[in-house]
Chain A
């Protein structure tokens, strides 16, 4: 099985390495197959966000390479627009455009980036919002929505560009407990539909229900990976055991 997303020996340093700079990624290699759901876990500062952000080039690598399908993300003259159409991103803090209604949030990128006619974008946006359970919130502004609703709207916004893969960076960490499920349900449905997903999250329920593979990172490296059952039930590495002891 060849990877749809391929990360090869990714290295990323923040600041001056001579003077206490941080190696956020210290030689990470990872492949994600089409339709696969990979969960990335690890302690704070282990490089999970940096890895995700490098995949759609919100962050540039010092060395190493990343490909999505045939597109070389890390190429010097990479077509950024195309890379962002390949992989959509969902953030911990939603980042909905606060001056726009939900439907405008969803239709902005298709109209601007794809040149989709407004009416067509509206119809498509309406259908996608219906799918995430926000069919009645088209004209609401982000500040009028609960956290869970905002995150579902953010997922709809990413989906509106028809991405081949979705990257989730702690999508439920900013949510009150009672709203986590509604977001995870949407994500699980996406996984069931065959969406390729990289998810940074420590939600064990989601891991068991939807993840094909769990990757444990520490200090910029992948320490260990396996199916959820393997990794949670019988971790091999000491560091993995210790970390799981904290979160399970």
Chain B
């Protein structure tokens, strides 16, 4: 195949929406670099980038762990575990993320301080540790905790779907070989389950990046909050929110494309 034909072949596979998006992105970036005021906005909003990524990454990692435990409990043979996990998942999924955020920030954090003080009471009396107060938990921490608790419920359902997607014959074969329930789960079911839901799990990361914007309501200095404050003080709403949107799109669109590539690869692999 000649280079020209190959290039044409690749070009034929590129969707129009992507061309449009990348084109707009390039124009935005070009304008920004040419225009002094855009350059300033870029610099300002970019200071929130680390917070956005940090909150998203930390909450995602924590909700993967918690979600895995909840998902395992949800498909457990032990009824109390199953019921408790289902209760949590239904409860959390029935609440708007914003409400979870307020709840954890203003009810959960003081309660958590109380609980910790109760648990560590002897140490605190001995003067080994200082008593906790709600304000010891920064709003970024509270926001991350809220996102974690919320996303764990979604991720638990993904893990459960993955576990259920594994053929029952695999479990029977493992049991017939003498593997215990936990060995079967850990060595046979989970690896296949995770592989089956890898794209869905990755999509949750894209979603959590977008939902991380909610932390701005607590005044956490992420991209959205900085943009909000900047726009309000300069009245450059149009330019500022263009830049804010640009930042999110750079992250989400590129990640979504990675997820698609991953999906294609997994499909190819299982077809081989």
Task: Point out residues on A near B: beta carbons under 8 Å.
Answer: 56, 58, 80-81, 84-85, 88-89, 91, 93, 95-99, 108-109, 112-113, 143-144, 154, 157-158, 161
Contacts and interface: CB of A to CB of B under 8 A. Distances in A.
B111 interface: no
Contacts of B170: 95, 97-98
Give the interface residue-count category, chain B: 20 to 34
B195 A84 contact: no
A81 B173 contact: no
A58 B176 contact: yes
A108 B173 CA distance: 12
A52 B76 CA distance: 26
Contacts of B187: 108, 112
Contacts of B138: none
Contact of B179 (A56, A113, A144, A154): A113
A88 B176 contact: yes
12 contacts: A58-B172, A84-B176, A89-B172, A95-B167, A95-B172, A98-B192, A112-B179, A113-B177, A113-B179, A143-B272, A157-B177, A158-B176
B64 to A, nearest CB: 20
Contact of A81 (B174, B178, B191): B178
A109 B169 contact: no
Contacts of B167: 95
**Most B-side CB within 10 Å, residue of A88, A113, A161:** A113
Interface in B164-215: 167, 169-170, 172-180, 183, 187-188, 191-192, 195
Contact of A97 (B176, B188, B270): B188
Interface of B: 167, 169-170, 172-180, 183, 187-188, 191-192, 195, 270, 272
A99 B192 CA distance: 6
B162 to A, nearest CB: 13
B178 A85 contact: yes
A98 B272 CA distance: 12
